[in-house]
Amino acid sequence: MPKRTRDPFICPRCGTRVEPSKTWQLVSPFPDSKGRITITVMGSFVCPECGHKWRGVVSKLKVGGEEVELETGSGRKAKLGAEKKEEKREGVIFEIDIDEDEE
Ligand SMILES: [Zn+2]
């Protein structure tokens, strides 16, 4: 599979890797075909090198049903265990640790 997904952490202007200065979550109001709700984690970035500002999708979570599907900005998917059913109602927050050197 060709790697086409743009890394949201990379400055589109100069290629510097930037951590998001701010992140927030967008929760889709409608479930998908499998009855899962998509939570999109957005990030706001400011490049320290060239000052360019942009926003990007940091990750996507699909919550509901049997499992939680996590899609990172680089197109990688991970399945989280099914023991997440007792999630807190307000602001579902996952600690996401992306290991880029894998594979
Ligand atoms: Zn830049």
What's the 54 CA to ligand 1 centre distance in angstroms? 10
What's the 43 CA to ligand 1 centre distance in angstroms? 15
- Smallest CA-to-CA distance from 70 within 101, 34, 96, 99 is with 96
Q: What is the pLDDT of residue 72?
A: 73
Average pLDDT by consecutive 10-residue portion of the chain (103 residues)? Answer: 72 96 92 88 97 95 75 66 48 55 52
Contact 30, 24 (CB under 8 A): no
Helices (H) and strands (E) counted in the chain, each on its own, are 0, 5
What's the 49 CA to ligand 1 centre distance in angstroms? 5
What's the 10 CA to ligand 1 centre distance in angstroms? 8
Q: What is the pLDDT of residue 95?
A: 56
Q: What is the pLDDT of residue 29?
A: 84
Q: What is the pLDDT of residue 13?
A: 95
The pTM assigned to this predicted structure is: 0.56
What's the 19 CA to ligand 1 centre distance in angstroms? 12
What's the 83 CA to ligand 1 centre distance in angstroms? 40
Domain-wise residue ranges, the chain: 1-80
Q: What is the pLDDT of residue 5?
A: 61
Q: What is the pLDDT of residue 80?
A: 61
